Amino acid sequence: MNTLRQAYYCVLDNYYSGPVMDPKALLKSAFAAYTQNLMRRGADRAGLQLPALAGNRDTDWAAFAKVLGADDPAALRAAITGMVAGLQDNHARWVRPTPPSEGGPTGTGIVGVSAQQGSQLDPAARPPMFITRVLPGSPAAKADIRAGDIVVKVNGVPAFVGDTVNQGILDAFTSGTVRLTLRRPTTGRTRIVELREGPITRQPAAVTSKKLADGVSYVQLPGFCEGAADQVIAKLRDKPKAVVLDLRGNGGGSPREVTRLLGAFAHGKVTSYFCPLKGDCVPNRTDDSVPLLGSRLIVLTDRGCASACEDFSAAVKGNGLGTLIGTRTAGAVSGPGEAYLLHDGSVLLLPRVRHLGPAREIIDTIGVPVDHDAPMTALDLATGRDPGVAKALALL
C-alpha cells in the first residue's frame, strides 16, 4: 500500500499536468485495475466499491485506502500499473526491478515485427504482419525463422482480424511457448512452428556504416544512447557529399545526443521546444560546437522511429536540413521522462514537460510524415532489397 500511495502523490506532484489533475481520475484508474486483477484470480470481494470522492487529494486517498483494506501485493501492483496507464502518456511508466535469471536472459528471439509502433503495435498497420528481426543463435533462429517471414496466426489466432491488428501478439512472442503459423514470401510455403523460450544473447546496439556509392555514406543508428552522436560523426570523418542516416527501428534516447548530431548538419537552428504546464516553452538548439560536415542528409524512418528519433526527424524536416524517406514515425514523443525512485526499489518515469517540434507543432500521437514513402515489405526483407536505400540513391 505504501508504494501505491507514494506513486499516487508522485504523479500529482511531478507529472506534467499533475498539479492541476483531478485526483479522482487517478484513483479511478487504479481501482479499476485493482478489481480486475482480483476478478482474474477469483478473489473479488463483496462490497468492494470505489467510495465517493470529492476531488481533494488527501481525503480522497484516505477514503480509497480504507476501502482497499487488505494488503494484496498482486492487486496493488496492478493498481499502480493501471494508474500510470490511465495517464495515456507514452513516456509514463512504472518499472519494477527484475532479479537476473540464472544462466542469463531467455526469450524466443523474435524482437521485431512490421506492425510495431514504438514499443506497441500500430493500430494503423496494414496486413500482412511479418517478422523484421531475429536474434542470432536464439530459439527462433534455430527454428529457421527469418526476417520477412509472414505471421499468419499466433496461437491459432489470426495476426489481423479483418484489417485490425491483433494487439496481443507482442505478449505472445515474449511468453514461454508460442505456436506460430508462418508463410515464407519467397516460396509461399506455410508451416507451423512450436517455439519455446530459451537462452538469448542481446548484443549492444552499435552504429554501423558502409559506402553506398562514390561520395555517399550509409550509417545505421539504432538508438540515441550516450555517445551515439560522436559515433556517427566518427563514421563520417571523411566528410562525404551525402549521408543516408538509417533511423528505422530507432527507439529514441537522449535529447542531448539529438542536438549534438544535428549540429553536424546545421548551426543556429531551433530543433524543438520543451514546454512546462505553465510558463514559456524552452527552445532546444543545435550544438554549434560540433564542426559542420557539409554533407547532404537523407534520413530513413519507419513506425519504429520513436521519441528522440522523432525529435531528430522533426528537426530535419522542420528546418529543411534534409529529406525523409520511409514511413511516418511512431508518434511517441510526449516529453522526456524523469525517474523517481519509490521505496520498494521500483521506478516511476514521468515527463515534466511536453515536446513540440521546431515550429511548435505537436508530434506526439501523430508522428513525422516523410517526403517520400518507401515502406519495407516482407519480400524486400526476405530477398535483401531495401526500398528506402534505393529511393535515396535515386534522389542522389
pLDDT of residue 374: 98
Question: Are the CB atoms for 240 and 232 separated by under 8 Å?
Answer: no
What is the band of 119 on the pLDDT scale with cuts at 50, 70, 90?
A: low
Question: Using a CB cutoff of 8 Å and minimum separation of 24, what contacts does 213-219 make?
Answer: 213/393, 213/396, 215/240, 215/241, 215/242, 216/240, 216/241, 216/242, 216/243, 216/244, 216/393, 216/396, 217/242, 217/243, 217/244, 217/295, 218/243, 218/244, 218/246, 218/389, 219/243, 219/244, 219/245, 219/246
Mean pLDDT of the chain: 93
Residues near 124 by beta carbon (within 8 Å), at least 6 away in sequence: 117
The answer on pLDDT for 101 being more than 60 is no
User: pLDDT tens-digit profile of 331-368?
Assistant: 999 999 999 999 999 999 999 999 999 999 999 999 99
Question: Are the CB atoms for 316 and 58 separated by under 8 Å?
Answer: no
User: pLDDT tens-digit profile of 314-339?
Assistant: 999 999 999 999 999 999 999 999 99
What does the alpha-carbon distance between residue 85 and residue 87 come to, in Å, rounded to a whole number?
5
Can you list the domains of the chain with their CATH numbers?
Answer: 2-88 (no CATH), 106-199 (2.30.42.10), 208-337+350-395 (3.90.226.10)
User: pLDDT tens-digit profile of 13-36?
Assistant: 999 999 999 999 999 999 999 999
pLDDT of residue 168: 76
What does the alpha-carbon distance between residue 32 and residue 30 come to, in Å, rounded to a whole number?
6
Using DSSP bridges, classify how beta strands 296-301 and 323-326 pair: parallel, antiparallel or unpaired. parallel
Question: Are the CB atoms for 290 and 318 separated by under 8 Å?
Answer: no
The answer on pLDDT for 118 being more than 70 is no
What does the alpha-carbon distance between residue 284 and residue 256 come to, in Å, rounded to a whole number?
9
What is the band of 102 on the pLDDT scale with cuts at 50, 70, 90?
A: low
What does the alpha-carbon distance between residue 387 and residue 384 come to, in Å, rounded to a whole number?
10
pLDDT of residue 92: 97
User: pLDDT tens-digit profile of 207-229?
Assistant: 999 999 999 999 999 999 999 99
H-run or E-run covering 72:
none
